[in-house]
């Protein structure tokens, strides 16, 4: 009988744009204050990409770092997946632009859209592809530039978002299985609470959609909070059940970095202290699909987790979508 194919993590990498936008900078743009932003969100600064620096460029810089850690060349990849809601264009996919920048041809490449849950959704897809035997080595990227779809006149949303990218390289293995479990969920009944109205087939770009500022993020923050906490806690608990692990087996928990109050509420709900939760929202803001992977890469580089440690990623995003993954570093 053939041995079960497992998934091995070869390496991670991340990239944040050079420009830093602080809360003090935002005080000059909208009616807000550093104290107000910090108290309500936990964010003190965020990274902002250049006008000529598209999502694929951030993805490329993160991917190169992940490939270096994995000690493989781009030509050894079988598949590229990018989780993003800020693609370079509607088509071709941002994954195809990344493929070109990496200098490889022929292998499949596609984008995945699940908002802030995109990276964990991508882990699930990668796991399925490798375990099926269809692909052996996969580059999964979470990359978003929310600054480019933010209404910089809306003080309730513009303080939240930033830009960044993170990447991970998976390979098949008959010895290791580093993706212990993944749990996913979604509920389209909440689709009107966090969304970007125009630019698609419902409201194609017109003079009026631009003048009415419909190409920027719209959010009912209080309602998002009320849904995010129980769904993230549910995902965390379900992923633990599927993995056969307990809370005590997890070295650190890495939740989606959207709001410190959400993070603290989720930690309380699942019964863990904040000293077991990795938080970097104060310096990145919400970077959508890139939050969990950039945080994971930072935790690895900082020595917060070591080889063999088990980590749980927990996400929630527009859709609503949610999910959690238990992985071994």
Write the burial class of residue 138 (CB in 10 Å: 0-12 exposed, 13-18 middle, 19+ buried): buried
**Confidence class of residue 170 from pLDDT cuts 50, 70 and 90?**
very high
pLDDT tens sequence across 257-284: 999 999 999 999 999 999 999 999 999 9
Percentage of residues of the chain with pLDDT beyond 70: 99
For residues 208-223, give the mean pLDDT. Answer: 97
Domains of the chain: 6-177 (3.40.47.10), 180-328 (3.40.47.10)
Helix (H, G, I), strand (E, B) or coil at 220: coil
pLDDT tens sequence across 73-92: 999 999 999 999 999 999 99
pLDDT at 2: 63
Residue 220, both tokens: 């009912």
Catalytic residue among 23, 158, 256, 259: 256
Contact in structure between 240 and 326 (CB atoms under 8 Å): yes
pLDDT tens sequence across 239-260: 999 999 999 999 999 999 999 9
Catalytic residue among 116, 158, 172, 259: 116
pTM over 0.75: yes
What's the 3-state SS for 162-218? CEEEEEEEEEEECCCCCEEEEEEEECHHHCCCEECCCCCCCCCCCHHHHHCCCCCCE
**pLDDT at residue 164 greater than cutoff 70:** yes
Is 286 an annotated catalytic residue?
A: yes
Residue ranges in the chain assigned as alpha helix (H)? 23-27, 34-41, 55-70, 94-102, 118-132, 207-211, 221-243, 260-270, 281-284, 291-301
pLDDT at 1: 46
User: What's the chain's Rg over C-alpha atoms?
Assistant: 19
Is 71 an annotated catalytic residue?
A: no
φ, ψ at 28 (rounded to 5°): -85, -10
Catalytic residue among 23, 172, 259, 286: 286
**pLDDT at residue 7 greater than cutoff 80:** yes
Contact in structure between 147 and 163 (CB atoms under 8 Å): yes
Residue 72 DSSP label: -
Contact in structure between 109 and 99 (CB atoms under 8 Å): yes
Is 306 an annotated catalytic residue?
A: no
Distance CA 125, CA 130 (A): 9
**pLDDT at residue 176 greater than cutoff 90:** no
pLDDT at 3: 72
Average pLDDT of the chain is: 97
């Amino acid at each position: 009988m053939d041995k079960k194919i497992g998934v091995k993590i070869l390496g991670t990498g991340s990239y944040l744009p050079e420009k830093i936008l602080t809360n003090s900078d935002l005080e000059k743009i909208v009616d807000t204050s550093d104290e107000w932003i910090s108290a309500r969100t936990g964010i003190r600064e965020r990274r902002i990409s250049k006008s000529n620096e598209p999502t694929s460029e951030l993805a490329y810089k993160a991917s190169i770092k992940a490939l270096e850690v994995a000690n493989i060349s781009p030509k050894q990849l079988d598949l590229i997946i990018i989780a993003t809601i800020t693609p370079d264009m509607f088509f071709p996919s941002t994954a195809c632009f990344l493929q070109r920048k990496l200098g490889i041809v022929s292998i499949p490449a596609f984008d995945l859209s699940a908002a802030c849950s995109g990276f964990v959704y991508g882990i699930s897809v990668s796991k399925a592809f490798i375990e099926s035997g269809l692909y052996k080595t996969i580059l999964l990227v979470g990359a978003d530039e929310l600054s480019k779809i933010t209404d910089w006149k809306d003080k309730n949303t513009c303080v939240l978002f930033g830009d960044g990218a993170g990447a991970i390289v998976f390979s098949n293995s008959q010895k290791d299985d580093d993706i212990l479990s993944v749990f996913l969920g979604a509920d389209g009944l909440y689709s009107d609470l966090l969304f970007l109205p125009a630019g698609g087939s419902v409201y194609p770009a017109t003079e009026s959609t631009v003048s009415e500022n419909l190409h920027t993020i719209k959010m009912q923050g209080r309602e998002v909070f009320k849904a995010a906490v129980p769904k993230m806690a549910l995902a965390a608990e379900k992923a633990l059940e599927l993995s056969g692990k307990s809370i005590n087996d997890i070295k650190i928990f890495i939740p989606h970095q959207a709001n410190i109050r959400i993070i603290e509420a989720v930690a309380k709900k699942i019964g863990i202290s904040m000293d077991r939760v990795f938080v970097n929202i104060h310096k990145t803001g919400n970077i959508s699909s890139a939050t969990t992977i950039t945080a994971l890469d930072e935790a690895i580089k900082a020595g917060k987790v070591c080889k063999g440690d088990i980590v749980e990623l927990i996400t929630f995003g527009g859709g609503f979508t949610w999910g959690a993954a238990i992985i071994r570093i």
